[in-house]
Amino acid sequence: MGMKKEFISLLAVVAVFVAGGTILMTSKILPEEHAQDFRSLSEISLQSEIRVIKEPTSDDNTYIYAINDVARQSLDIAQADERVKNIINSIRGSAVTMAAVQPTAFVNPDGKVIHSSAGQVIITSNWQVIDGKLYSAPVTFDLLENKQGEAHQIIWNVFVDLDKRQVTDIFQEQERVIRETLHSNVVFGGMNMYMPDTVIADVGSKIRWSNESNLQHNVVGTYKTKSGSEVKVDSGFFDRNESWEYTFNEEGVFDYHCTIHSEEGMKGKVIVAS
């Protein structure tokens, strides 16, 4: 008899759950009913257009950019910090890159910009040494043949609080160095550096970019010829021990960079001359 009562009670509980579930489904208030209406990115747009603030010149080899207007605020705050000013002063004369990479900004359907208060600016100093001497003025591949090249890099990560408008921390990474015996018409790709970074090549030269690091790299840029044409060049990504070649058939200048390591200043220039 006791077992019969327990069974009847269990049936009643089950009936309540079934009835409740039926009500939820017919009223369409179950979360699953609205799953098909969820749009992960359609309600928000990503703002990531690069803002170039300073291009390198012959007198000041500094490149500054921000990924959006909010990240540029991080840059302004960082540049006003005395510690950052001291870093910039200490690396003058090298190839400097300042990249404001955070925060990422989003725009909701109402047009309001949404972002976190955490900003980040990456400062990178790159310089190269050939046979023990600072390599500052580009020379031909012939003059670099069989010489010992060194590419040096130091990176600082500067963290910014946008709400308090102050730098909260600065982290300096260990210096990176790549060493290679240089060869004619070969550019070595190491840990976020190309070597030689700037070089003079003859018209008709086929230049090979060789990846000597454990990271993927690419060669992306514009080949501006003497005749006035602008050729967009994109190697695609290539892995360790892989390489990519391009033939320069006209006088001009090819400025390029690695798209995934641009904040570390991984860029170069080929000057094609007769």
Residues 153-170 have pLDDT tens digits of 999 999 999 999 999 999
Give percent of the chain above pLDDT 90.
69
The pLDDT score that the predictor gives to residue 58 is 80
Instruction: Give residue 194's domain range.
Output: 45-273
The pLDDT, as a whole number, for residue 37 is 36
pLDDT grade for 13, boundaries at 50, 70 and 90: very low
Q: Look at residue 220 in the predicted model and tell me its pLDDT.
A: 94
- Cis amide leading into 103 (omega within 30): yes
Residues above pLDDT 70, as percent of the chain:
82
82 within a domain of the structure (yes/no): yes
pTM: 0.77
pLDDT in tens, 44-79: 334 457 889 998 888 899 999 999 999 999 999 999
Residue 24's pLDDT is what? 35
Q: How confident is the model at residue 145 (pLDDT cuts 50, 70, 90)?
A: very high
Q: How many structural domains does the chain have?
A: 1
Domain annotation covers residue 31: no
Residue 50 lies in a domain: yes
Please check whether residue 195 lies inside any domain of the structure: yes
Is the model's pLDDT at 233 over the cut of 90? yes
* pLDDT bracket for residue 226 (50, 70, 90): very high
Mean predicted confidence (pLDDT) in 82-102: 95
- Judge residue 90's burial from the number of C-beta atoms within 10 Å of its C-beta, 0-12 exposed, 13-18 middle, 19 or more buried: exposed
Question: Residue 21 burial by CB count (10 A; 0-12/13-18/19+): exposed, middle or buried?
Answer: exposed
Report the mean per-residue pLDDT for the chain.
Answer: 84
What was the pLDDT predicted at 50?
81
Quick check: helix, strand or coil at residue 111?
A: coil
- CATH code of the domain covering residue 214: 2.60.40.420
| Residue 142 pLDDT level (bands cut at 50, 70, 90) | very high
Indicate if the alpha-carbon torsion angle 132, 136, 139, 141 is positive or negative: positive
The confidence score (pLDDT) of residue 82 equals 98
Among 53-67, 117-131, 149-163, 180-194, the least confident range: 53-67
Q: Tell me the C-alpha distance between 170 and 172, whole Å.
A: 7
The answer to the question of residue 3 being in a domain is: no
Distances (CA, A) of 60 to 109, 142, 167: 42, 27, 25
Lowest mean pLDDT among 38-42, 141-145, 227-231: 38-42
For residue 18, being part of any structural domain is answered with no
